[in-house]
Amino acid sequence: MKRERNYTAGERAIIAIGAAAGKTVAEINAVLEADAKRSGGTYRAANATSVGMAGRYPTLPTSTAEAQALWEHVLHPKPLGVTALDLDGAA
């Protein structure tokens, strides 16, 4: 059986943030697929094991609300010059 390619840094970030935000594997894969189409790259689906392991990174936001805010920023980024990523809900 052929081994799949490693996840790219961007794919790993999407998987880790999605897992921390409590997203399902299907939701994470939808974002990975859309990103691959947008960038012209190849799509590699995340599996449940990868998502489970990624959700345990100690450097991720500690609350689901923080992770959800980060997930929304991944899906709908704003230029950093316009507004900073608001994890506290203040902006």
The residues spanned by each domain of the chain are 9-75
**What is the model's pLDDT at position 61?**
65
Mean pLDDT of the chain: 80
Reported as half-sphere exposure (CB side, CA atoms, 13 A), residue 50 has a value of: 19
pLDDT(91) > 50: no
Helix (H, G, I), strand (E, B) or coil at 90: coil
The pLDDT of residue 59 is 66
> What is the length of the chain?
91
Residue 8: CB atoms within 10 Å: 16
Tell me if the pTM is above 0.85. no
The pair of three-digit structure tokens given for residue 80, joined into one six-digit string: 């950093």
- Per-residue pLDDT, averaged over 12-31, amounts to 91
Whether residue 90 has pLDDT greater than 80: no
Residue given tokens 């920023």 in the structure block: 73
